[in-house]
Amino acid sequence: MTEAVAPDRSAAEQALLNRSLIDLFERDIAFNQTLGLKIVSVQPHDVRATFDMRPALVGHYAHGRLHGGVISAVLDHIGGLALVVDIAARHAQDNAQQVLKRFVRLGTIDLRVDFLRQGIGKQFTVTAEVMRLGGRIGNTQMRLVNEEGTLIATGAAAYTVA
């Protein structure tokens, strides 16, 4: 006797999930609005967001560079989003609402940020890659670059996922 295999998410349901994830991170997480974070991609192995430099994000008034807290926050947020995208891919039979329910279990338990260069630029791109997704813990590595591709900071994080 063979087991029935649940069908993968339909293209329409995947589009709904992608839009829901973008809305969640751009609109529903209020701090991301403060950061000006715009989600560019929510595809497995390609999770990206951008944000523009603004006076509210400056950490050193004389140099006009990003505040370290802004850098840490965007790295943390994109790492969490990358995990949700991977969780969604792992549970391809789940609809958008079921995947979003899994998001409420996500929480940062460790975050390391390496500040490599001054956060100077007009626009920044932040990316994340999932290194490991276990049943209870997920690990990511993240990068922040400016519009010229200069690497500003990297991060590594661990999150609870269950």
How confident is the model over 106-150, as pLDDT tens digits?
999 999 999 999 999 999 999 999 999 999 999 999 999 999 999
pTM over 0.85: yes
* Sequence-ordered list of residues with C-beta below 8 angstroms from that of 151, at least 6 positions apart, any chain: 116, 117, 143, 144, 145
Burial 108-138 (b: 16+ CB within 10 A, else e): eeebebeeeeebbbeebbbbbbbeebeeeeb
N-terminal to C-terminal alpha carbon distance within the chain: 32
Within-domain flag for 132: yes
Give the CATH number for residue 32.
3.10.129.10
pLDDT digits (tens, 9 = 90+) for 8-67: 889 999 999 999 999 999 999 999 999 999 999 999 999 999 999 999 999 988 888 999
Overall number of domains in the chain:
1
Q: Domain residues for 125?
A: 11-160
1 assigned to some structural domain: no
Cross-strand pairs, 110: 158
- Any domain includes 149: yes
From residue 45, alpha-carbon distances to 101, 105, 107 in Å are: 22, 22, 21
